[in-house]
Amino acid sequence: MVLPDQKEKFRRMRFHLSLQRNNLKANGMIKILMTLMSRNHGRIKMNLFCLWYDGLHCNLY
């Protein structure tokens, strides 16, 4: 039998792990974008990146 307290711990741990996974995914995408940026410098690309980054943050929180 699982105590309610344990259940809550498991739930929190699972949530934390999924959050970490999302962060890793986001960081990976940002790294890819950064390497693309450094290869071809451009204001337009930077603006697109900022828009995309803001959108990502709205989705995560």
**Residues 14-58: tens digit of each pLDDT:** 777 777 777 777 777 778 777 776 666 556 666 666 666 666 655
61 pLDDT higher than 60 = no
Predicted local distance difference test score (pLDDT) of residue 15: 75
Q: Looking at the domain assignment, is residue 61 inside a domain?
A: yes
Q: Which residue has the higher pLDDT, 2 or 35?
A: 35
Residue-number span of the structural domain to which 52 is assigned: 37-61
Q: Looking at the domain assignment, is residue 44 inside a domain?
A: yes
Q: Looking at the domain assignment, is residue 53 inside a domain?
A: yes
Predicted local distance difference test score (pLDDT) of residue 41: 59
Q: Looking at the domain assignment, is residue 51 inside a domain?
A: yes
Predicted local distance difference test score (pLDDT) of residue 52: 65
State how far the alpha carbon of 32 is from the alpha carbons of 5, 36, 39, 59, in Å.
41, 6, 11, 19
**Sign (positive or negative) of CA dihedral 46, 47, 50, 51:** negative
Residue (of 49, 3, 2, 4) closest to 26 by Cα position: 49
Residue 54, Cα to own-chain centre: how many angstroms?
12
